[in-house]
Amino acid sequence: MASTERSGKGMPMPEKAVYSVIGMTCSACSGQVERVLRQLPGIHDAVVDALTNRALVTFYPALITEETIRETIEDVGYQATLIQDHQTNAKSSQMCRIRINGICTSCSSAVESALQALRGVLMAQVASADEEAQVHYDPKMVSYKELLEAIEDTGSVAILITTGYNYMSQFQLKVDGVSTDHSMRLIENSLRSLPGVQDIDIDPKLNKFSVSYKPDVTGPRNFIQVIESTGSGRFKAMIFPETGREVHETEIKRYYRSFLLSLVFTIPVFLTSMVFMYVPGIKSGLDRKVVNMLNVGEILRWALSTPVQFVIGRRFYSGSYRALRHGSANMDVLIALGTNAAYFYSVYSVLRAAASKDFMSTDFFETSSMLISFILLGKYLEISAKGKTSTAIAKLMDLAPETAILLTLDSEGNVTRDEEIDSRLIQKNDVIKVLPGAKVASDGFVIWGQSHVNESMITGEARPVAKRKGDTVIGGTVNEDGVLHVEATQVGSESALSQIIQLVESAQMAKAPVQKFADRISKYFVPLVITLSFSTWLVWFLAGKFHRYPKSWIPSSMDSFELALQFGISVMVIACPCALGLATPTAVMVGTGVGASQGVLIKGGQALESAHKVNCIVFDKTGTLTIGKPVVVNTRLLKNMVLQEFYELVAATEVNSEHPLAKAIVESAKKFREDEENPTWPEAKNFVSITGHGVKAIVRDKEIIVGNKSLMLDQNITIPSEAEDMLAETESMAQTGILISIDGELAGVVAISDPLKPGASEVISILKSMKVKSIIVTGDNWGTANSIAKEVGIENVIAEAKPEQKAEKVKDLQASGNIVAMVGDGINDSPALVAADVGMAIGAGTDIAIEAADIVLMRSNLEDVITAIDLSRKTFSRIRLNYIWALGYNLLGIPIAAGVLFPSTGLRLPPWIAGAAMAASSVSVVCCSLLLKNYRRPKELDGLDMQGVEVVK
């Protein structure tokens, strides 16, 4: 064929390899190795960790070998050893998701470090914004229980969400009626006897059975049937309830209840210390002496603040203890120190008043109780707001129907029975009945019926798509009219909807590089604040002790020590590392969620950060700028033969290729066999796909070569002037000319046209206005490439490029100082997609292209390229705003709390106001990120009619 945008079958999926890398001392070293590896052609991803001295490399074995990767690492200056090849890794690698309740930003780094230090952990990511960790590990070396223990050793509460092998599915069941260990073993043995069951994990406390199995062999209905038939029918099995949303809602309610309970005690404390002292009748009652100078008001405040300090505020003590026990300090430490200072000084003051006949005590009980109340309110508001950042995932989950109609067929395919089941119980090869107006319950293909299906929620295609026997359907889409019978092919975690949800979840877990800035600050923030707080108290105390400021500065109800103490406490509680830590992840979560709702799947913070810097976009042609559904528009024979025989030979060769141009030729050949729905072509022997050039095979003892001009010249086939003229003519009309040789002699020329996508020229124009230059890099001929470029308004063109040449062109552009995005759809685009700073795959493209890309454009519309760049720019504008606010708040708030303005203005922040400000800062950052939910794509796109092109089959 005349393009590198094609390939035969058999291109492998990316593989993984793990290397031991000796000599790295810091994150700068690991970053250097990562950058070098990612620049290699054929590298899909590279994650290097200096703590564990490991490198996890995902690569395409057809393009690069493990030995080349190892040599590259050693060229950087480190000793590298392959410790786990991709075959072992693919079988043993396991991923689990763990919920970490109440984790703060400074804790997340400690948890990551603890997990990475475990032998057998390949990669660990902790996202404080959604309180979750994703851990990739080798179950032969470490168990998920050890992962939970490692997290809890850092002082956090860990709850397992899911765990499963990469090549298996997992299903969780709750079994009622289990009362003894014998019953547990009985059920376990019954399940293990089922073919396809690989592993079973049991949680006796919850009567929970987690079954890992091969979905091609068995499924969840079989598990339930086996359990309920075991033990004389006394066991009842059901799907284990989802815990994600419930845990989050429970935590919100817990903070809300704690806040309300604290108010019950705090409001009376506030009234007795701040309000009732100005009410004459009540004031005299509160000032009544009980023992020496100890009065009723002080006893009441002590009694009311104690439950707030030690019962309601217990969480801060336990959090501080766990953090300090592992050599780190978090927000809980600041809160505990600040409230304890106020509370215990008040206790000292009260006890001294009780023991003295002339000491007038001043207590700060209202400071400690109001501080805790305001912090609980802030936590409640923060967690509520954080929950709203992940609404995109909740909306995606809601697309799946709750129930499905399962059909039972006899040997002749007739329906003998139907029943309504939970859609989560669908197994592979089940036949599902989809009624008009109902959602399709599973990915599959139609085996009976005709209808139109609305796929806009998945693909963005606005018009319903016609479906008939043999057509594929996607779970979560809506059947518009007729009844369909669908055979399930992808169920559970393999379904398209589940994979989109997993992609969005992974994207929201992945940290943007800019997050490292906050991580570095958070390591030193709390110790620095404690030092500043103590220094503030000491400076004010010494200044008062040695009369360095007028006595008139001291409020009548305090002495110099108490004034200094208030300044010190205010500094401690106003500082907020949480706002810094939330600045990036909350914006990334909302940004990726908004992108998913717009049909743009962004694979994490790295892609989002790189996309906002893009100033150069490299476009593939076929299927990217063009519709990707080429058709044969002209055929000219150069040899005396029947046209049907000519197409028989060509179709027999091209049917082995998945390239769009090959499919166009096969479809054209089918016209000569209109009486056959799926014609059988002659056998093609010795089929060879020559990437970027074409294919060749032996059909009916004749050597057939189909491809471009360069392939014919390489095969020493003469191209007559008549064929040259036709090639020139087709290229001038933006068509592709395909040459066909039979037994070493040129037999014909086929002209194929692939029209431009609607609005392509407008998209290029808008990109120019955004100061983003566009380039075409294609494997097609120069004539066709130039015609297409002229039509859309692109000036720079590279044609007849092989896959590796596309990647080289991307690297040349990067070397010139450009931040390059590559937009493609084919297998041959994957090296360039990986090499680019941002790879964008068209959603209708191949799985390998989508796997290699950083951003997936689900709707296959070019306008989404603009949406992706604009959304990334808006998101990072929001992140900058968050950082400016978070840094500005601390840089301004800490000096004010320390009393810098007090000498000149008399402005002093009481600790409870400082605590309220601290709580408000975190909430404000989250709310600022939530404003991204109002994102609207650029107005210039509203006028474009680019909702896809319907291809009539």
* Active site amino acids: 620
Residue with tokens 């073919």: 195
- Please state the length of the chain: 953
Is 590 in contact with 934 (CB distance < 8 Å)? no
Number of Cβ atoms within 10 Å of the Cβ of 420 = 11
- The DSSP string of 577-615 is HHHHHHHHHHHHHHHHHHHHHTTEEE-SHHHHHHHTT--
Q: How far apart are CA 626 and CA 629, in angstroms?
A: 8
In sequence order, which residues have a C-beta less than 8 Å from that of residue 813 and are 6 or more positions away?
616, 618, 775, 820
Number of Cβ atoms within 10 Å of the Cβ of 536 = 25
Is 459 in contact with 843 (CB distance < 8 Å)? yes
Tell whether the torsion through CA atoms of 208, 213, 219 and 223 is positive or negative.
negative
Give, for 575, the enclosing helix (H) or strand (E). Answer: none
The angle subtended at Cα 15 by Cα 12 and Cα 16, nearest 5°, is 175
> Closest by alpha carbon to 540, among 569, 568, 508, 520?
568
- Residue 837: phi and psi, rounded to 5, are -65, -35
Give, for 472, the enclosing helix (H) or strand (E). Answer: strand 472-473
Give me the amino acid identity at 514: V
Residues forming beta bridges with residue 801, ordered by sequence position: none
Number of Cβ atoms within 10 Å of the Cβ of 482 = 15
What are the contacts of 551-555 at 24+ separation with CB within 8 A?
553/902, 553/903
Reading phi first (left if > 0) and then psi (alpha if -120 to 50, else beta), residue 582 is in alpha
In sequence order, which residues have a C-beta less than 8 Å from that of residue 23 and are 6 or more positions away?
29, 77, 78, 79
Class of residue 183 by CB neighbours under 10 A (exposed 0-12, middle 13-18, buried 19+): middle
Q: How far apart are CA 889 and CA 895, in angstroms?
A: 10
Task: Write out the two tokens for 667.
Answer: 């479809």
Is 869 in contact with 614 (CB distance < 8 Å)? yes
- How far is it between the farthest Cα atoms of the chain? 125
Give, for 687, the enclosing helix (H) or strand (E). Answer: strand 684-690
Tell me the CA distances in angstroms from 600 to 326, 540, 892, 937, one per residue in order.
41, 56, 39, 12
Q: Coil, helix or strand for 468?
A: coil
Q: Coil, helix or strand for 387?
A: helix
